[in-house]
Amino acid sequence: MPVITNIDDLKRIYKRRTPKMFYDYAESGSWTEQTFRENTSDFEKLYLRQRIAVDMTDRSTKSQLVGQDVSMPVALAPVGLTGMQCADGEIKAARAAEKFGVPFTLSTMSICSIEDVAENTEKPFWFQVYTLKDDDFMRRLFDRAKAAKCSALVITVDLQIMGQRHKDIRNGLSAPPKLTPASIMDMMTRVQWGLGMLGTKRRTFGNVVGHAKGVDATGSLSAWTSQAFDHSLDWDRIKEFRKWWDGPVILKGILDADDARKALDVGADAIVVSNHGGRQLDGAISSIRALPSILDAVGDKIEVHLDSGIRSGQDVLKAVAMGAKGCMIGRAFVYGLGAMGEAGVTKALEVIHKELDTSMALCGERDVNNLGRHNLLVPKGFAGEWE
């Protein structure tokens, strides 16, 4: 059993055990990957204020996200193709999140369906939707999520047009993977992954195939996805979606203060400051740099979460201290899933929780809800005015 001390340890195992096309799918950004890199490197520019001689007994990382009690202010982000990182990956990640006491968000483009995850978990999970043209399919997605008793709807608003990710093109990414001499050789060296895939029937997009009109095979799915996203999306359309859902609605993909204000107008309950992990507009600002101006714009009128770049409990601490109510982690839990399945997701959450708890203590704080800018040393200009 390898010794796991941090998320990077899981990442190294994940790279060895998962086929290259799926590793590259997770570990990449669009175009030059500038935004992908700066999402993590900008966290390193924020320093923690060490405090001493403070009573550190009875510490708590417990909080709430959209009215839900959580063991720490973290949710698992929606990640497409999670079931290709590990057989039945969405089910395994959802189970780990449920046991740990944090929300799991199922992607529309998951391998395991809404019904699969609901049948294999006990507590409600969050469901993520893209803004698609097909109203009939969208309404049925909403109805299926309601039937599964999903506790929140996450609407991704930054993917009308997909950013180009060079690695996916070079690898011929697909689900199930295309069988070429290169992909066959690669998968043959990932024995544990291959055995898992042989043992499951879930190998394509469970929420789409057999549900979207005219989509009943991988080939037709490819044609469908290239035409499905709604290029005409506007705020009226988002407002319409809000009316379809009677529970909490979270808008994911906010990176501008004006857009944060508009999210208030359409009745969102929370927003996620996110640049899609650097996978959409390359050259966009990192999420942690965008956070302060968005908080200035909306104050406490709406719950603000942060996504993109979180790789440690210290990153969670910094984001919450900067003013975020909570964080979404994507790649960090995918590393654990690809490395060790459900146990790996649990390990990723344990690592992040321990780092958050220990760092919070060394900053002189006993309660995660008391974190604030007083816990940070922020360089001048980090979140200042831009020309």
Report pLDDT digits (tens) over 314-339: 999 999 999 999 999 999 999 999 99
**How high is the pLDDT of residue 183?**
85
**How high is the pLDDT of residue 324?**
98
8 Å CB contact between 316 and 338: no
Q: Per-residue pLDDT for 156 more than 70?
A: yes
CA 264/CA 108 separation, integer angstroms: 24
Instruction: At 96, list the tokens.
Output: 């780990």
Please report, for residues 82, 92, 241, the alpha-carbon distance to residue 75 in angstroms, rounded to integers and kept in the order given: 15, 15, 22
**How high is the pLDDT of residue 222?**
64
CA 316/CA 293 separation, integer angstroms: 18
CA 126/CA 272 separation, integer angstroms: 14
Report pLDDT digits (tens) over 84-106: 999 999 999 999 999 999 999 99
Whether 276 is catalytic = yes
Cα angle at 111 between 227 and 127, to 5 degrees? 80
Q: Domain segments of the chain: what residues?
A: 7-377
Choosing from 276, 305, 353, 374, which is the catalytic residue? 276
Q: Which of 61, 19, 16, 73 shows the shortest CA–CA distance to 360?
A: 61
220: confidence class by pLDDT, cuts 50, 70, 90: low
**How high is the pLDDT of residue 219?**
64
Please report, for residues 9, 49, 370, the alpha-carbon distance to residue 339 in angstroms, rounded to integers and kept in the order given: 9, 34, 34
Report pLDDT digits (tens) over 158-206: 998 889 999 988 988 877 787 788 888 888 899 999 999 999 999 999 9
CA 244/CA 8 separation, integer angstroms: 41
358: confidence class by pLDDT, cuts 50, 70, 90: very high
CA 72/CA 172 separation, integer angstroms: 38
Residues of the chain by 3-state class (helix, strand, coil), percent to 5: 45, 15, 40
127-135 mean pLDDT:
93
Please report, for residues 17, 136, 137, 195, 282, the alpha-carbon distance to residue 213 in angstroms, rounded to integers and kept in the order given: 36, 9, 8, 32, 33
Global confidence as pTM: 0.96
CA 86/CA 184 separation, integer angstroms: 17
What's 4's DSSP letter?
-
Please report, for residues 81, 149, 182, 202, the alpha-carbon distance to residue 177 in angstroms, rounded to integers and kept in the order given: 11, 32, 11, 13
Q: Per-residue pLDDT for 223 more than 80?
A: no
Q: 276 — alpha (psi -120 to 50), left (phi > 0) or beta?
A: left
**How high is the pLDDT of residue 95?**
98
**How high is the pLDDT of residue 218?**
65
Q: Which residue has the higher pLDDT, 254 or 131?
A: 254
pLDDT-above-70 percentage for the chain? 97
**How high is the pLDDT of residue 375?**
98
**How high is the pLDDT of residue 35?**
98
**How high is the pLDDT of residue 216?**
75
Instruction: At 215, list the tokens.
Output: 């989509």
Please report, for residues 154, 239, 240, 242, 262, the alpha-carbon distance to residue 236 in angstroms, rounded to integers and kept in the order given: 17, 5, 6, 10, 11
Q: Per-residue pLDDT for 387 more than 70?
A: no
The pLDDT mean for the chain works out to 94
CATH of 7-377, one of 3.20.20.70, 3.40.30.10, 1.10.420.10, 3.40.50.1980: 3.20.20.70
8 Å CB contact between 108 and 208: yes
CA 272/CA 324 separation, integer angstroms: 9
Report pLDDT digits (tens) over 43-79: 999 999 999 999 999 999 999 999 999 999 999 999 9
